[in-house]
Amino acid sequence: MAPPTAQHPSNGAARRHARARAPSRAAVLTAATADKYDLYQRSVQAPQSDVEFLLTVYRRIRRRKPHHLREDFCGTALLAATWVAQGPRFSADGFDLALEPLEWARTYNLVSLGSAVSRIALYQKDAREPAAQPADLRCAQNFSYQVFKARNELLDYFRSARASLAKNGLFVIDHYGGYDAVEERVEERVVDGSFTYVWDQQTYEPVTGHQKCAIHFRFDDRSELNEAFSYDWRYWSLPELRDLLFEAGFPRVDVYFEQFDEDGYGNGTFEKDAKGPIGASWIAYLVAVR
Ligand SMILES: C[S@@+](CC[C@H](N)C(=O)[O-])C[C@H]1O[C@@H](n2cnc3c(N)ncnc32)[C@H](O)[C@@H]1O
């Protein structure tokens, strides 16, 4: 069977998001001068538009403002930092297993918060661990939950997510779909005119869903940060994710799809859609209502 006609270029995860704050920018970037976390944030994160989406969807469903955010798999905690910077009523927790990105977060993203830093707490802990404060919003970005390869592991995570939400809480995860998502392929994108971001889907096994991916960065002087980040995870389909969220006890799961501009690129706005697009690649948010 022929694949469905793509209505937009197949640049899926590699085009997710535009740019973020950067702590340091060398005039000419090379593999020797670049900071991989800085490059990562500039390549794949857009915390301001994530915050706007989270606020909009929460207000639409709950008719009030959310204040406490929990960012799972937070890495450099850019989203959590952007959240608390909104004002004195906003607070956040970040959870990540790895010490290195958390230390980077403290050195760069948290320092620029000034006194607001007292409203953010970072934990070097598994995302399934409970938090002291129930969250109005809890989220896992950039497909990080795919680290859970076994069904019962992902179900445990979703159950724990529901358990630590406030009464009116929402749990939000993103998803990369379309037939590009399960191919072995490489995509490149120049970022800020100063380096090339490379998204490399290295292997995919249809039987298990196991997938290995990596991010490389290339520079004008031909130097390269090969496998600056690598991911060994399982690709979960959208119906599998919805079923697991329902099984974890969420009574309602809404799906919002990124819309496309006239050239067929994702434009950063998301609309609720019960069916979804057919095509090579698309980004969606799943919003699970407690
Ligand atoms: C793809 S990065 C996500 C970074 C950032 N949140 C973003 O949106 O781009 C995945 C992060 O998950 C962390 N991680 C992997 N397994 C984890 C687990 N079981 N619990 C918490 N963090 C985990 C890794 O250390 C890494 O920082």
- Going by pLDDT thresholds of 50, 70 and 90, the confidence category of residue 8 is very low
Question: Residues 112-134: what's their mean pLDDT?
Answer: 96
Q: Which residue has the CA at smallest separation from atom 9 of ligand 1?
A: 142
- On whether the CB atoms of residues 101 and 161 are closer than 8 A, the answer is no
**pLDDT score, position 115:** 94
**pLDDT score, position 73:** 98
Q: Which residue has the CA at smallest separation from atom 13 of ligand 1?
A: 73
Q: Which domains does the chain have, with CATH numbers?
A: 1-290 (3.40.50.150)
**pLDDT score, position 9:** 36
State if pTM tops 0.75.
yes
- Going by pLDDT thresholds of 50, 70 and 90, the confidence category of residue 28 is confident
Question: Residues 89-110: what's their mean pLDDT?
Answer: 98
**pLDDT score, position 2:** 31
Q: Which residue has the CA at smallest separation from atom 17 of ligand 1?
A: 97
Whether the per-residue pLDDT at 196 is higher than 80: the answer is yes
Whether the per-residue pLDDT at 14 is higher than 70: the answer is no
Phi, psi of 289 (to 5 degrees): -100, 125
Rounded to whole angstroms, the Cα distance separating 288 from 290 reads 6
Who contacts 251 (Cβ-Cβ below 8 Å, separation ≥6)? 289
SS3 of 111, please? helix
Q: What percent of the chain has pLDDT over 90?
A: 87
- On whether the CB atoms of residues 57 and 139 are closer than 8 A, the answer is no
Query: Residues with Cβ within 6 A of ligand 1?
Result: 44-45, 73-75, 95-98, 101, 126-127, 141-142, 144, 147
Whether the per-residue pLDDT at 20 is higher than 60: the answer is no
**pLDDT score, position 5:** 30
Q: Which atom of ligand 1 is nearest to the CA of 157?
A: 19
Whether the per-residue pLDDT at 41 is higher than 90: the answer is yes
Q: Which atom of ligand 1 is nearest to the CA of 143?
A: 1
Q: Which atom of ligand 1 is nearest to the CA of 141?
A: 8
Rounded to whole angstroms, the Cα distance separating 169 from 136 reads 4
One-letter amino acid at 7 equals Q
Phi, psi of 253 (to 5 degrees): -135, 115
Q: Which residue has the CA at smallest separation from atom 18 of ligand 1?
A: 126
- On whether the CB atoms of residues 70 and 135 are closer than 8 A, the answer is yes
Which two tokens mark 239? 């119906």
CB atoms within 10 A of CB 100: 12
**pLDDT score, position 25:** 57
